[in-house]
Structure 1
Amino acid sequence: MSEQVTFDNSISLDHIGRIYQMIGNIPFFAEKKARINSIEVLPGGLTNSNYKVTVNNVAYAVRIAGPGTEEYLNRPAEKHAATLMAELNINAPVIWYDEKTGCQVCLYIHGKTLHIPDMQEEKYIKKAAQVFKKYHQSGKEFISRFDLLKETYSYKNLLIQKNFAFYDGAELFEQKIEEVREALEKNPPKLAPCHNDPLCENWLDDEKNFYLIDWEYCGMNDPMFDLAALCLEAELNEEQEKLLLTEYFGGELTEKQFGSLIINKFLCDALWSYWAVLQIATGKPHEEYWPYGLNRFNRAYALINDGSLDRALAAYNK
């Protein structure tokens, strides 16, 4: 099985061994008398290690889940969502999934992985809006709930328990999170199946389909969160944001719809800023995660400082 195998020298022997063990133990490959031809590193991913593994001359995407991720990620829920989305031809076909660890094997999609400049193009903004619309309105039910505020408070409380400091300005930040919570409790959004982490590198274009992969943070949520997260990840300007929303809603935007986008942008950055600091508190590199979280914290804080969040809450509460 190891004859003439090529692999990147940067891959650890531990991960090469785990990939061999994984492929060797999966019935799908055992039935085919699987032989690994090559192993390549796939870029991206803050928490997991991803590889393109060619088996019997067919390419697969193999994920080795990051240690400890099972503590805060619902792996059975991801398997359920990833399978449902594959049926809609939105996610890559799932070959095997380990519900305990989150390790998985999917069919590799031969296409273009998007990056920020790509997603800022009009054609991809429109394509993303249609993919969002397709699964948000699919009538599918995910088995998990992605409760933004609950997740945020959970990360915050874990930091308190670990006696780990957050960024300067946390008091006003937390006050505004409370104001958002009150607004959403008074007027709760209708929930839909959501991806919740649609960064540009999770979008793939093979010129036949437009895929959204990596459903780790899936769950029933306010669908506007997916749109807000993409606006942030793709660094869309206001004109591009309005194009995304117009394509998604199919008409003129209301103040409340745009206000909901601003609220969800604030919540998205708040969530991932707490998440980033929690990664450091659990042993991840400070130099990698602190600046990432600080950037998101500062961007959310800017919505407080320039009055955007207050205006959005006023529009939402009308």
Structure 2
Amino acid sequence: MVEKILIDESISLEHVGKIYQLVSKVPEFKNSRINQIEILPGGLTNSNYKVTISGVDYALRIAGAGTAEYINRPAEKHAAQLMAELGINAEVIYYDETTGDQICRFIHGKTLHIPDFHQNEDYIVKAAKVFRKFHESGLEFLTEFNLLQEMENYKNLLIQKNYNFYDGAETLEKNVAEVKKVLAINPPKLAPCHNDPLCENWIDNGEKLFLIDWEYCGMNDPMFDLAALVLEADLNEDQERLLLRSYYDSDVITKKQYGSLIINKFLCDALWSYWAVLQIATGKPHEEYWHYGLNRFNRALTLVANGKLQEALTAFDD
């Protein structure tokens, strides 16, 4: 009797074919068979699946169309492997540097969401420790994630595609320029960074936290990682300070440290607002990305309007 292969009916035949094609490229799967294919939730740019092969579970990613325009796939592969060796990322089984398709060992555990960081603040403390572990690892990623340059790249791609940005962009750009001046005088020390630590990229296997999906990796100001988590998890000011105290292992947070977090919150929202519109310009659904980007755009401008950005710049410049 031939064993039936269980495939989620919502998966397109095109992607089923791509999954089989991708699995066939891996030498260690030569004499194996696919038992089951399930959709993994999340992922704004890629399609993710849990694929059971000869009884073993793997996480398989089919990279989104057009992502090669702005994601350095060889750099991601290098970082993903380094972080796997450090015990932070899932083990990488196969990675296609041309397409960005990959297969990783599936991590059995709880995928975190926004409420988890609020209902159990121990996750904030644990995430801070994970950040510090790879920030201070001394490892070097292949590329620098220069968010100001990334922002400029996204803007130029939008211009090339003749696609408009949000109203009020002049105010955003004026303040980005002001931040750029301050950082030129006080450049942060760069460290290996994830740069996109949204809640769903954290997995608790019961023993420790893993941080997956290293697409936007690069050498960067480590405070950008903390700022990104603050925004993604919707942390309040008390929780921001808990994150900082846990990261620095100190009861006292300086004005400059807190100011650096605010500056990076502003830059993070500004960056991903451009990214969101670029997704639409490259063919993604308008309804999925326009409001996502607009919310981030407005949140960045709120830091300008309430004076927090200027206060942070002053503290950072002292």
Q: TM-score range by the shorter chain?
A: over 0.9
Partner of 1:260: 260
TM-score normalized by structure 2? 0.98
Select the residue among 45, 53, 77 that pairs with 2:75.
Answer: 77
Partner of 2:97: 99
Q: Conserved in 2, the CA contact under 8 Å of 1:28 and 1:95?
A: no
Query: CA-to-partner distance for each residue in 1:124-154, whole Å, 9 max, x for gaps?
Result: 0000000000000001100111000000011
SS at match of 2:50: strand
Distance 1:189 1:12 in 2: 46
Query: CA-to-partner distance for each residue in 1:38-66, whole Å, 9 max, x for gaps?
Result: 00000000000000000010000000000
TM-score normalized by structure 1? 0.98
Residue type at the aligned position of 2:44: L
Residue type at the aligned position of 1:217: Y
Residue type at the aligned position of 1:277: V
Distance 1:22 1:161 in 2: 33
Partner of 2:299: 299
For residue 161 of structure 1, report the CA deviation from its aligned partner: 2.5
Distance 1:24 1:163 in 2: 40
Distance 1:178 1:161 in 2: 22
Q: Conserved in 2, the CA contact under 8 Å of 1:24 and 1:34?
A: no
SS at match of 1:143: coil
Partner of 2:289: 289
CA RMSD of the aligned region, Å? 0.9
Partner of 2:135: 136
User: Equivalences for 1:226-241 in 2 at 5 Å?
Assistant: 226-241=225-240
SS at match of 1:53: strand
- Ranges in structure 1 where 5+ consecutive residues have no aligned partner: none
Q: Conserved in 2, the CA contact under 8 Å of 1:91 and 1:211?
A: yes
Distance 1:191 1:218 in 2: 12
Partner of 2:241: 242
For residue 307 of structure 1, report the CA deviation from its aligned partner: 0.3
Distance 2:135 2:59 in 1: 26
Aligned residues: 315
SS at match of 2:287: helix
Partner of 1:16: 16
Distance 1:5 1:95 in 2: 22
Distance 2:162 2:11 in 1: 35
Query: CA-to-partner distance for each residue in 1:186-235, whole Å, 9 max, x for gaps?
Result: 11000000000000000000111210000000000000000000000000
Query: CA-to-partner distance for each residue in 1:228-274, whole Å, 9 max, x for gaps?
Result: 00000000000000000000001110000000000000000000001
For residue 3 of structure 1, report the CA deviation from its aligned partner: 4.0
